[in-house]
Structure 1
Amino acid sequence: MMKFLYILCSLASCYAALNNKKFPADFMFGAATSSYQIEGAWNEDGKGENIWDYLLHTNRTYSLNGDNGDTTCNSYHNYKEDVALLKNLNVTHYRFSIAWARLLPNGHINEINEAGVEYYKNLISELRANNIEPFVTIYHWDLPQALQDEGGWPSSNIIDVYADYARLCFRLFGLDVKYWMTFNEPKQTCWQGYGVGTNAPGIKSPGIGEYWCAHNVLKAHAKAWHIYDEEFRPRQKGQVGIVIDSNWWEPATNSSEDQEASETKLQFTFGLYANPIFNGDYPEVMKSHIKRRSLAQGFQKSRLPEFTPKEIEYIKGTADFLGVNMYSASLVAAKQNQDVDGMGFDHDDEVKVWYSESWKKGASPWLVVTPWGMQKLLRWIKNQYNNPRMIVTENGYSDYDGTLNDDDRISYIQGYLSGVRDAMVEDGVNVFGYTVWSLLDNLEWVYGFTNKFGLYHVDFNSPNRTRTAKKSVGFYQNVIRTKCLVDECIEI
């Protein structure tokens, strides 16, 4: 029998012993991808242009080496092979996203691309035939360019357009899909897409466009949930959730100021989207910070839009489960020298953020190996939102070379899964599954093909994009088979 006990102190500051208690028999283990990162076929069979197609075609310097998603893993043509890899892993579920522009080339409901419909029906059918549960993300960052030309997410017009798209997905695929996620990481869509502009569509509107984006995403999410609840749930009997991402924000010291900075950062990252859905309205600390800073900057009111009482009620309670993406922790402290004129997510919170030099880093500049942060974040979510039903929808490790002997990835996944199990056993957190990112090496957005997250290596120089199992495949297979992270586990 293979031995999978690894010493985590080689990867990070020394971490507590790995959890030796079995995961429940019905705990779900899966793998994840997204459409733009793996599908390719960017303009085939009637697919429309999305914001990433446009950005990376018109500005070749936006991504490393000018890489783009034109072909990437070519999963549009190789989806059966990908499902075979999932079957080999013996996962319970596969999280993937639907490309909005592949279904609706101009983003609107008036033009449905039947080839796109057929592709996703075939993929879902192949998953079902192999006893793999589809977890479908409706929006994973790839807005049709035509809708961006109409104003994108900061424009309130998009709410009804997204609702039409979500209703179409439910109607076309809902009999075979029981788990829907309306949005993946809306913070990245809004902050990086319309705040700092590092992601598509590359708009820089810090503290204004990014908050209108968030406001409209939350309304669109709620509308999609109500559409499913009223029109489809009685027959399809599925669930609709949302995926929110965050680091764990570790106070740099035990001072009350740094403790408060940690809580503030959690509210500005996770609470911005979760609080309206689970508790009603934006977090109070966000409202007070942004209003105070806005008025001091000469605005007549807060740059953060306000929900009406009716909207607060409409949004509250619109998640049957919560997807959590978590990779890293950061150190935080209260900023000593405030930029009074600064606007946007990373100024309005008034929190200083950095990584410890002692923490091991992955290939991605934002990824550090801090498995102890997983339990802390899950516990915080439990306490903030009345212990919602949760699934870890992304967690994984990046390297530069895609090595097949990926011991660092194994240790990373093992440590973070131990944190998940600790949260379940010690804190009573209601987690029903875990999803590794990613099934395949793929296009890591602006980092191109330089950051490799896959359990399976992809040869991007081969015409067929040959897939090869890494060592982590055997590790993950063993965890799924035994429900255990170490050589011997105990039942509880």
Structure 2
Amino acid sequence: MYIVYSVETMCCLKLIVFSALIAVVRGERRFPDAFKFGAATASYQVEGAWNVSDKSASIWDTYSHKKPSVIVDESNGDVACDSYHKWREDVQLASELGLDFYRLSLSWPRLLPNGFSNYISEDGKRYYNDVINGLLEKGIEPVITLYHWDLPQKLQDLGGWTNPLIVEWFADYARVAYDLFGDRVKSWITINEGIVACEGTYTLGSFAPGIYSPGFGSYLCNKNVLLAHAKAWRLYDEEYKPKYGGKVSLTNQIIWPQAHSEEYEDLAELVLQMNGGLYSHAIYSKEGGWPPAVEKYIAEKSAQEGYTRSRLPPLTTEEINLIKGTFDFYALNYYTSWLVRSPKEGENIGKWPLYGCEEINALLEPAPEWPPTSSDWFFEYPEGLRRLLSWLKKTYGDMEYRIMENGYASDKRDLNDVNRVNYYKTHLEQVYLAITEDNVNVTYYTAWTLLDNFEWNDGYVSKFGLVDVDFTHPDRPRTPRSSAYYYANVISTRSLYDDDLKTNL
């Protein structure tokens, strides 16, 4: 069943909020006044215009062109949502939703076609200035991600994230972005989901640039991601924060690993440290460095395998001190959870959906009661988000937590997307409970995503958008879904309601 929206309705989302759904309703659950609601996109997934002006190729341009078979529908991001040309329409959609902020990423090869800071593209600079200024004119905060996986191919040719020199290359890129946009951008994400950039590439070999090197390339990448983030954070903290007063962190995606039963709690904790701690402990813990349990495990396993040293590259005292404390908030992306147990004899562990499970011999499976989505790695367990927020606070301390991605996958172009509405509703409930009952200082919530887009290896088959995009039409028309109206209502009222609100885990 589809809902047909009139042109007037499409253009005036706020008009159907029905006076903010009569804001004073029995059982209203209000988010804190300072709480912010937003939505996100990423450059390669929405911009298109892959070779306009002087933009150079990214690793995803190269990967999708040379190996189309690695994408489910053999598509690419050459045009995507065409947001390079349709950015005004996207800004207007963000405004009609009532977003407090809009998270977007810069394309490194669009801004710095050589990969290096010796040459800044005037076209790239103009484009991002237009988008940032357009958002500010609508009263929407721009939240900028410096790196969302589209590394310049020219840097990949030099080793990419396994070359230690990338730490300085990234810091140079960050300086350019801070210089160009720092007077208006007050929230920065250095690197999005280092775990995917490293493990998706080297552990699975399925993400651009598609180099299979589990247990070696993945850990080299991990170390350099942490160091690059730290350099970019310290640069801002020392030179730009005194002028602009902004905040900088990196974003981690963490899948909540729930113990299958009590006997597997230690294993579930090790899985959590492999997926969350490996990209967090060095930054957010008081002692810094690799998570001790992970460092010990990999060192012992490396010795058993006959290596003369651990496959996990060491962090020197200088590196530990450089990385430690480089945050202004904890940024989290959450989608799903999995049950963890040891495998039975003959069971295949696999490498997905949680990276590192083959390394530590952990088997993952969904609980039978968790609803599936169209993606085989993705099951609904909203309570996992609350549990994860509580674990982060317990592990790393009482700080500001920002949810920078949360959303629902479907393979249908349904405008009446009831399942997505329910996903947002149940997850926002858990965020509310984390704030009000667990006293976690959550300040931002980000819907992934504003628009259907190029979903990496899933191409255009997997749809996360609050807004439908017709990729069969050259103009890429956008149509808000029911979830867009639901989210607009939540933002307008700043509230949830008692119906079916779960208060226990």
Same fold (TM over 0.5): yes
3-state SS of paired residue (1:290): helix
Q: Alpha carbons of 1:271 and 1:433: their partners in 2 closer, same or farther (altered >3 Å)?
A: same
3-state SS of paired residue (1:65): coil
C-alpha distance in 2, partners of 1:354/1:201?
A: 28
Letter of the 1:315 counterpart: I
- Is 1:71 matched with 2:83? no
3-state SS of paired residue (1:66): coil
- Is 1:222 matched with 2:233? no
3-state SS of paired residue (2:214): coil
C-alpha distance in 2, partners of 1:352/1:170?
A: 43
Deviation string, structure 1 residues 298-354 (Cα, Å, up to 9, x no partner): 100110011111211111110101110001010001345699xx9982322332211
3-state SS of paired residue (1:142): coil
Q: Alpha carbons of 1:167 and 1:338: their partners in 2 closer, same or farther (altered >3 Å)?
A: farther
**Structure-1 residue corresponding to 2:283:** 277
State the Cα distance separating 1:236 from its structure 2 match.
1.2
C-alpha distance in 1, partners of 2:125/2:301?
A: 47
Deviation string, structure 1 residues 15-71 (Cα, Å, up to 9, x no partner): xxxx95210111100000000000000000111100000001011211012110000
Kept in 2: contact 1:225–1:319 (CA 8 A): yes
Letter of the 2:373 counterpart: G
- 2:61 equivalent among 35, 44, 53: 53
Stretch moving more, 44-53 or 357-366: 357-366
3-state SS of paired residue (1:244): strand
**Structure-1 residue corresponding to 2:472:** 461
The aligned runs of 1:416-431 (5 Å cut-off) are 416-431=427-442
**Structure-1 residue corresponding to 2:461:** 450
Letter of the 1:299 counterpart: Y
3-state SS of paired residue (2:252): strand
- Is 1:347 matched with 2:358? yes
**Structure-1 residue corresponding to 2:492:** 481
Q: Could you list the runs of 4 or more consecutive aligned residues of structure 1 that deviate by over 6 angstroms after TM superposition?
A: 1-5, 487-490
**Structure-1 residue corresponding to 2:370:** 359
C-alpha distance in 1, partners of 2:223/2:367?
A: 33
C-alpha distance in 1, partners of 2:53/2:133?
A: 20
**Number of residue pairs the alignment of both structures matches:** 473
Q: Alpha carbons of 1:151 and 1:386: their partners in 2 closer, same or farther (altered >3 Å)?
A: same
State the Cα distance separating 1:274 from its structure 2 match.
0.8
**Structure-2 residue corresponding to 1:395:** 406
Letter of the 2:273 counterpart: Q
3-state SS of paired residue (2:205): coil
3-state SS of paired residue (2:262): coil
Deviation string, structure 1 residues 424-465 (Cα, Å, up to 9, x no partner): 111111100100000000010010100000010001111210
- Alignment RMSD (CA, Å): 2.1
- Is 1:154 matched with 2:162? yes
Q: Alpha carbons of 1:4 and 1:64: their partners in 2 closer, same or farther (altered >3 Å)?
A: farther
Letter of the 2:177 counterpart: C
The aligned runs of 1:170-185 (5 Å cut-off) are 170-185=178-193
C-alpha distance in 2, partners of 1:315/1:223?
A: 8
Q: Alpha carbons of 1:337 and 1:317: their partners in 2 closer, same or farther (altered >3 Å)?
A: farther
C-alpha distance in 2, partners of 1:91/1:449?
A: 25
- Is 1:378 matched with 2:386? no
**Structure-1 residue corresponding to 2:309:** 301
C-alpha distance in 1, partners of 2:59/2:140?
A: 31
C-alpha distance in 2, partners of 1:22/1:211?
A: 43
- 1:259 equivalent among 265, 286, 308: 265
C-alpha distance in 2, partners of 1:163/1:397?
A: 33
C-alpha distance in 2, partners of 1:413/1:459?
A: 23
3-state SS of paired residue (1:183): strand
Kept in 2: contact 1:325–1:395 (CA 8 A): yes
State the Cα distance separating 1:2 from its structure 2 match.
7.3
Q: Alpha carbons of 1:301 and 1:3: their partners in 2 closer, same or farther (altered >3 Å)?
A: farther
C-alpha distance in 2, partners of 1:263/1:338?
A: 24
C-alpha distance in 1, partners of 2:331/2:477?
A: 31
- Is 1:119 matched with 2:127? yes
C-alpha distance in 2, partners of 1:266/1:86?
A: 34
C-alpha distance in 2, partners of 1:426/1:466?
A: 42
Kept in 2: contact 1:338–1:350 (CA 8 A): no
C-alpha distance in 2, partners of 1:63/1:277?
A: 34
State the Cα distance separating 1:4 from its structure 2 match.
12
**Structure-1 residue corresponding to 2:11:** none
C-alpha distance in 1, partners of 2:200/2:19?
A: 41
- 2:194 equivalent among 186, 193, 200: 186
C-alpha distance in 2, partners of 1:103/1:20?
A: 45
- Is 1:250 matched with 2:258? yes
Q: Alpha carbons of 1:75 and 1:217: their partners in 2 closer, same or farther (altered >3 Å)?
A: same
Kept in 2: contact 1:4–1:486 (CA 8 A): no
Contiguous gaps of at least 5 residues in structure 1: 6-18
**Structure-2 residue corresponding to 1:12:** none
C-alpha distance in 2, partners of 1:36/1:184?
A: 13
Deviation string, structure 1 residues 96-144 (Cα, Å, up to 9, x no partner): 1000000011211122111001100010000000000011000001100
**Structure-2 residue corresponding to 1:200:** 208
The alignment-based identity, stated in percent, is 42
- 2:139 equivalent among 131, 145, 160: 131
C-alpha distance in 2, partners of 1:4/1:62?
A: 45
**Structure-2 residue corresponding to 1:268:** 274
Letter of the 1:358 counterpart: E
C-alpha distance in 2, partners of 1:3/1:335?
A: 54
C-alpha distance in 2, partners of 1:421/1:288?
A: 37
- Is 1:286 matched with 2:297? no
C-alpha distance in 1, partners of 2:360/2:292?
A: 12
Kept in 1: contact 2:38–2:103 (CA 8 A): yes
- Is 1:35 matched with 2:43? yes
- 2:483 equivalent among 461, 469, 472: 472
Kept in 1: contact 2:271–2:356 (CA 8 A): no
